[in-house]
Amino acid sequence: MLAKYPLSTAPVEDYAVPTRRAPLTELEVAELVHLARAVLLKSPDDLAAIASAAPSMPSDWLEAFTAERARAEAEAKFWTAAITYLMASTPGSLANDE
């Protein structure tokens, strides 16, 4: 559908969504969200017990959460740039249409 709307060929490397060595699948992202919600429901004592039982687990979680946050922030910058570019390029600006 969007193919019929030609896009500028101006470079937008600064706003490109970065690729990861192994992009997460939708299921993996859903599992990561589920894990983050579970972590937020745990008490500090519960998390300390997990860290004691499996010392590498919290650091693995931190790595996964940090990577997903960086990906989400880059994606948000990408969408913000696209919106800003479109609004600045549209006569009468879309924001002013009623």
CA–CA separation, 11 and 16 (whole Å): 10
Q: What is the pLDDT of residues 16-27, one digit of tens each?
A: 555 545 778 899
Token digits of residue 27 = 């299921």
| 8 A C-beta contact, residue 32 and residue 60 | no
Spatial distance between the Cα atoms of 95 and 34, rounded to a whole number of angstroms: 36
pLDDT of residue 18: 52
Residue with tokens 């740039």: 81
pLDDT at 95: 55
**How are the residues of the chain apportioned to helix, strand and coil, as percentages rounded to the nearest 5?**
70, 0, 30
Residue that the structure tokens 């549209």 belong to: 90
Q: How confident is the model at residue 5 (pLDDT cuts 50, 70, 90)?
A: very low
**Segment 45-84, tens digit of pLDDT:** 999 999 999 999 999 999 999 999 999 999 999 999 999 9
pLDDT value of position 9 = 45
pLDDT of residue 28: 92
pTM: 0.64
